[in-house]
């Protein structure tokens, strides 16, 4: 069933699916806060006497594993709660109930490749949920990288703002290198958050839209961005463990 009014669901969709600049700004503010709150925690522990206190009671590897696991759980729970609160506020504020908005972009995207498709409320909600969860999966490694970056960074403020620097840096490198060489431009675009989201939106639309040449190209964009961040996080974790094995020596 569809609703023709400007509903709460459509308001949520416009801001967190259709309006990409707002969505990116939302994440920038969120990861700045998380970077300040969590990013410098490991650095502070190692630079303070509290680090010595911890290392006399457990191995550094155990400390890092438990710390990263706790941060992962905290970040995932916190981000999910934030989106849930926003979703509920929009739902009650604009009303409309659980009905697919008639003007939903999820029905209209890709209509040049096929008819405007009527979708069920279950698929509509599942699509929005998938979009949000994918964004969370992309953003959490940025905070973890910040937390683990003390292995090569020694400035607390740089560490705390590293997540947003990486996020914005992708756009800057894409702009600079994109004007130098087309091949470099095609490579760098795989590491820009917005391109990953755009291609995800193409894949989950009723009519699959080949944003970057073909559906398989879109799959590469969607997978490569978070996978790269996860791999970098894992490498930093290993370097932290190896470098700090003899923390107290």
- Give 117's DSSP letter: P
Q: Which tens digit of pLDDT belongs to each residue from 110-138?
A: 444 444 456 677 777 888 888 889 989 98
Would you say residue 109 has pLDDT above 80? no
Distance between CA atoms of residues 50 and 43, nearest Å: 11
Three state DSSP letters for 191-232: HCHHHHHHHHHHHHCCCCCCCCCCHHHHHHHHHHHHHHHHHH
pTM: 0.79
Domains of the chain, by residue range, sit at: 2-243
Lowest mean pLDDT among 59-63, 105-109, 222-226: 105-109
Q: Which of 51-55, 148-152, 228-232 reaches the highest mean pLDDT?
A: 228-232
31-45, 110-124, 133-147, range with the lowest pLDDT: 110-124
The count of C-alpha atoms lying within 13 angstroms of the C-alpha of 135, restricted to the half-sphere facing its C-beta, is 25
Mean pLDDT over 132-145 rounds to 90
Two tokens, residue 172: 């800057």
Cα-Cα end-to-end distance for the chain: 67
Supply 122's token pair: 């279950």
């Amino acid at each position: 069933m569809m609703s023709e009014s400007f509903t709460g669901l459509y308001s949520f969709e416009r801001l967190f699916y259709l309006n990409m600049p707002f969505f990116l700004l939302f994440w920038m503010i969120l990861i700045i806060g998380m970077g300040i709150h969590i990013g410098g925690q490991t650095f502070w522990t190692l630079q303070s006497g509290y680090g010595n206190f911890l290392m006399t009671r457990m191995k550094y590897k155990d400390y890092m594993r438990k710390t990263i696991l706790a941060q992962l759980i905290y970040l995932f729970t916190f981000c999910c709660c934030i989106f849930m609160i926003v979703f509920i506020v929009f739902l009650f504020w604009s009303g409309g109930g659980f009905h697919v908005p008639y003007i939903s972009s999820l029905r209209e995207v890709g209509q040049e490749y096929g008819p405007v498709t009527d979708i069920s409320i279950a698929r509509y909600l599942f699509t929005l949920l998938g979009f949000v969860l994918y964004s969370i999966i992309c953003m959490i490694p940025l905070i973890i990288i910040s937390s683990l970056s003390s292995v090569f960074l020694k400035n607390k403020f740089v560490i705390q703002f590293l997540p947003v620097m990486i996020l914005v840096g992708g756009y800057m490198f894409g702009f600079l290198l994109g004007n130098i060489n087309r091949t470099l431009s095609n490579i760098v675009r795989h590491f820009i958050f917005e391109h990953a989201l755009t291609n995800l939106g193409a894949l989950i639309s009723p009519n699959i839209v080949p944003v970057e040449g073909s559906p398989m190209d879109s799959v590469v964009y969607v997978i490569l961005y978070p996978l790269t961040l996860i791999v970098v996080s894992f490498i930093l974790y290993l370097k932290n463990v190896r470098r700090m094995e003899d923390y107290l020596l």
